[in-house]
Amino acid sequence: MPGCRDPVGEFLATQSDDRSVKIWRTTDWGLEAEVKKPFEDSPSPDGAHITASNATNNKGFVFIAAVFTRGTWTSEISLVGHENTVEVAAYNPHIFLRNPSVPVATSNICSVVALGADDRSVSVWQTKSTRPLIVAKEVFERQIMDLSCIHHRSWDGMTLYAASSDGTIVVFDFEPDEM
């Protein structure tokens, strides 16, 4: 059962083999919401959004990561681009500017989320964007099992670790202008 941490710390999302995502409040660990759509047809079971893996869209058998909006717990955004099941989604703990040359404003702030999939690829996305920043294809011999934005050199949010079921780990180091 994968888990997804809310960057603001108010909620924890868990995903289960029963093809549901449950949203738990961290204040009392009560159930805030249970989301079954868009996971019914899956092949196996900035603080404004959480992203859950293992979903398909309703237009056919297209593999996605579903992005849920805080409070309404609806999924209007889908991260599309992997050729097989998205296994894991991990948010970078830092908030970024979409355009560093523009002043700080709500419309210019975004989060960055990485996806790992059974297609052996990693994609990195800015929230509020319909296209990934990067897609690293066939990085491993087998599917990606976990992603982490733990920083080995500093806490700048520029390092991503990806682990595969083939027993290997890949480290992605980004430059600030790439995020």
pLDDT at 44: 40
Beta bridge partners of 163: 146, 169
Q: Which domain holds residue 118?
A: 3-178
d(CA 108, CA 76) in angstroms, rounded, equals 20
d(CA 174, CA 28) in angstroms, rounded, equals 37
d(CA 157, CA 58) in angstroms, rounded, equals 34
Q: Which amino acid is at 26?
A: T
**Burial readout 60-85 (b: 16 or more C-beta within 10 A, e: otherwise):** eeebbbbbbebeebebebbbbbbeeb
Collapsing DSSP to helix, strand or coil, 176 comes out as helix
Number of domains in the chain: 1
CATH code, domain with 17: 2.130.10.10
User: What is the token pair recorded at 66?
Assistant: 């579903």
CA distances from 80 to 19, 50, 107 (A): 19, 15, 23
**Residue-level pLDDT, tens digit, the chain, 179 residues:** 445 555 667 887 877 666 788 888 888 989 999 888 766 654 443 567 777 777 787 766 788 787 777 788 877 777 877 778 888 888 887 777 777 788 877 777 788 888 998 888 899 988 777 788 888 998 889 988 888 876 555 556 778 888 888 888 888 888 777 76
pTM of the full structure:
0.68
d(CA 39, CA 36) in angstroms, rounded, equals 6
pLDDT at 45: 34
